Copies of this chain bind each other. A is one copy, B any other.
């Protein structure tokens, strides 16, 4: 293969508070792959809340193509594992082409599901909800469950798994349209717009017996309200704290109700998705079955073109997505 023009998104300065377009640049680079290289054309890339702290804490390097989950199609390859035309997943998003020796690629073999589902409900996003709720959260049938950011990619999977396990589920979200989606599409028991209501009062209404499991995505005022209403031996699996990500030092609003953790012997535990890698086969089998049965739905917010990747990330942090935020880079 001769030269390839590769458009990439670079982080050019570290955001102080909410990221702005000026923190990013679209840069054109020229690739000249060797015949032994595997060349992947990226089709879709993932935009995730966890990208935000990495922009500030030094994990995302400056002035080079940013990392991020992506699905691509193999354009050139001498590898039997990743033949031309195969779909692969990798961590080199935020660019149109990825050149690899194969060591960072995972083959994707879609069954009857859409390719993009492997970037969310059948990928790390789904496994985060599955493991966080069932393993870290030790969910039991029929419990009272609160999910914050319930209309987000992880939250919406957590809500549906809890419903499948016959739980009573309340969810918070940031718009009335999302409330409608949660109640009428996902079928949870109670939903509220935290921007226009008291979280504490809504939780008392939605889960009057208290909370057994709070699947934590937001932190700050959400945790302050939920922690005070945890039931005996309640669990708080901490998936994320998006309310803290845009503050200096990743600080959330103050949480004042933690003493309830003593009285009710509550456990709060941070987790990351790679703890659940050993569950991936069972996870995929469960999720595909639930999808076929119509009990596991999803929604995507798709922005078009590599040039819109920064806007997609900024939009995510403003809550503009329902379900998974994706960027489409090329036709599959």
> Hey, which bits of chain A sit against chain B, CB under 8 A?
53, 219, 223-224, 228, 238-241, 244-245, 249-272, 275
Instruction: Decide: A265 and B259 in contact? CB cutoff 8 A.
Output: no
Q: A251-B257, A265-B275, A267-B270 are in contact. List 19 more A-B contacts (CB 8 A).
A: A53-B263, A228-B249, A238-B258, A238-B261, A249-B257, A250-B259, A250-B260, A251-B259, A252-B256, A252-B258, A253-B254, A253-B256, A254-B254, A261-B269, A261-B270, A263-B270, A265-B272, A267-B269, A268-B268
Instruction: Decide: B241 and A258 in contact? CB cutoff 8 A.
Output: yes
Give chain B residues whose Cβ lies under 8 Å from the Cβ of A245: 259
**Chain B min CB distance to A179 (Å):** 26
Give chain B residues whose Cβ lies under 8 Å from the Cβ of A266: 269-270
Instruction: Give Cα A262–Cα B217 distance, bound, in whole angstroms.
Output: 10
Give chain B residues whose Cβ lies under 8 Å from the Cβ of A269: 261, 265-269
**Chain B min CB distance to A217 (Å):** 10
Give chain B residues whose Cβ lies under 8 Å from the Cβ of A223: 258
Q: Could you list 12 A-B pairs, sorted by A, with CB under 8 Å?
A: A219-B258, A238-B258, A241-B262, A244-B259, A249-B257, A255-B256, A258-B268, A260-B270, A263-B270, A266-B269, A267-B269, A267-B270
Give chain B residues whose Cβ lies under 8 Å from the Cβ of A255: 254-256, 258
Q: A240's closest neighbor in chain B, by CB? A: B262
Instruction: Decide: A238 and B252 in contact? CB cutoff 8 A.
Output: no
Instruction: Decide: A271 and B265 in contact? CB cutoff 8 A.
Output: yes
Partner of A259, one of B252, B259, B261: B252
Give chain B residues whose Cβ lies under 8 Å from the Cβ of A275: 265
Partner of A270, one of B228, B238, B257, B265: B265
Give chain B residues whose Cβ lies under 8 Å from the Cβ of A251: 256-257, 259
Give chain B residues whose Cβ lies under 8 Å from the Cβ of A264: 270
Q: A266's closest neighbor in chain B, by CB? A: B270
Instruction: Decide: A268 and B267 in contact? CB cutoff 8 A.
Output: yes
Q: A251's closest neighbor in chain B, by CB? A: B256
Give chain B residues whose Cβ lies under 8 Å from the Cβ of A256: 244, 251-255
Give chain B residues whose Cβ lies under 8 Å from the Cβ of A224: 254
Q: A269's closest neighbor in chain B, by CB? A: B267
Most buried by B among A53, A223, A244, A264: A244
